[in-house]
Chains A and B, each alone.
Chain A
Amino acid sequence: MHRKVNCIPSRCMKEFFHSTEHLVRVAILLLLGIGAFLLIRRAVVPADFGKYGHFRPAAMDDVSARPITFAGREVCEACHSDHAEVKAKGKHAGLGCEACHGPLARHAEDPASIVPKLPDTAVLCARCHEANSAKPKGFPQVVTAEHSAGLPCNTCHQPHSPQIDKEKIGGEKIGGE
């Protein structure tokens, strides 16, 4: 504290600084703190955070880096064009190959060592065509127990173009459904 009423300016200032040393220390600590905060913030928050909104843009790359499991029908048709041609003419034209055959991106990458299993038509066809009151009225449905008594559907039908296959039953084509 100042006790002297009259003082020479230079000496007065010296005393002022002497008596406010504690303030200077706090100021230095504050500056150090701000510096540390800025450094940590720069280290932790990515430089492009907030570029497109309040998020880390690299997170989009993280999500899109996931490998695919469904190859897509174009990839299948590149090799299996014979089946694709049959399918395109029948009622199953709109179906993707992997809707029935399952995800096969690994097979597409390595066709020799990863060979897909043929699905069991007795189970597979019923998933869609088993009668259910909640299904759309125009959708072809059967009660499989009455319709085929547990026989696999491909006993009579050709799944890629699902009419009665006359080669399979050894006679004329009977019906469309």
Chain B
Amino acid sequence: MDLTRRELLDKTVKWILLTGAAATAWDYVLAGKAEASPNYDMTKHWWAMVIDVDKCIGCGNCVRACAEENDVPEGFFRTWIERFHVEDWHSDRPQVDSPNGGYDGFADKHQSGKNFFVPKLCNHCADSPCVQVCPVGATFRTPDGVVLIDEKYCLGCRYCIQACPYGCRFLNPKKNTADKCTLCYHRITKGLTTACCEACPTQARVLADLKNPKDPVHEFLRTHNVQVLKPHMATGAKVFYNNLDGSVR
């Protein structure tokens, strides 16, 4: 075909204008979806949890409550309880067991050494490795400090499951997406506490809002011997354990 300069310029300009016009039109089409705005200001919260190891009785209420509240598939756990058995002569090599994640409680087992329960869940790290490795932006930290999973974006590639130093994630066999504790985001955004904290009979675990100056967590953190798990990994973990034994990993 014969194309003069005039024709070429003419066509080019038309294409650029058409593309721009179509893009603008699409903006109008998409503008209908406004962000749902519940009665909750996420800039005013920074969620965490405090776990008092001295109070945990290993009853499994938290594990069962979590499964009920979040429809966790059988054999998988968003929160679970570990029993530590530490002999005096081998204090850095604890024996850990967690039969069915502590769902059915624990049968009495050890008669010697130091024995205690450690409840575990997602640490909702401020600088989380799982968020860093997600290739599609399906795992993210919300502005109020909760690490969540976008089930519509998750490909099920399992990078995050490998990246979590605490073993908190699993692949949901029903949805084939990564799954883990949401810190009951559907509850805390409505002003309720998490299901595990609601069901805990001894207040061994308590939800805390670090941005709320009236939250008793500040006093607790100041006056107790509080640690996070694997502090050397600098994940910014926000599940604080009171009086944690040195053998706990």
Contacts and interface: CB of A to CB of B under 8 A. Distances in A.
Interface of A: 13-14, 17-18, 21, 24, 27-28, 31-32, 34-35, 38-39, 42-43, 46-49, 52-70, 72-73, 94-96, 98-100, 102-103, 127-128, 130-136, 139
B111 A133 contact: yes
Contacts of A57: 35
B221 interface: no
A2 B149 CA distance: 62
Given A31-B15, A38-B19, A132-B106, A73 B198 contact: yes
Contacts of B117: 134-135
B22 A132 contact: no
A39 B15 CA distance: 13
Interface of B: 1-5, 8, 11-12, 15-16, 18-19, 22-23, 26-27, 30-31, 33, 35-36, 38, 42, 54-61, 65, 68-70, 83-85, 105-111, 115-117, 137-143, 148-153, 182, 185-187, 189-190, 192-193, 195, 198-203
B216 to A, nearest CB: 14
B185 A134 contact: no
A136 B55 contact: yes
A19 to B, nearest CB: 12
B1 A21 contact: yes
Given A69-B68, A127-B60, A132 B108 contact: yes
B8 A59 contact: no
A129 B83 CA distance: 17
A96 B173 CA distance: 32
Contacts of B15: 28, 31-32, 35
B148 A60 contact: yes
B86 to A, nearest CB: 11
Contacts of B1: 21
A133 B109 contact: yes
Given A17-B5, A59-B152, A68-B192, A42 B200 contact: no
Contact of A55 (B116, B150, B187, B202): B150
Contacts of A35: 15, 18-19, 22
B55 A70 contact: no
A100 B198 CA distance: 11
Contacts of B70: 66
A149 B138 CA distance: 54
A135 B58 contact: yes
Contact of A21 (B3, B139, B141, B192): B3
26 contacts: A24-B3, A27-B12, A31-B15, A31-B16, A32-B15, A52-B143, A55-B137, A55-B140, A64-B189, A66-B186, A69-B69, A70-B68, A70-B199, A94-B203, A96-B201, A98-B65, A98-B198, A99-B201, A103-B65, A128-B57, A128-B59, A133-B110, A134-B58, A134-B85, A134-B109, A135-B117
A17 B8 contact: yes
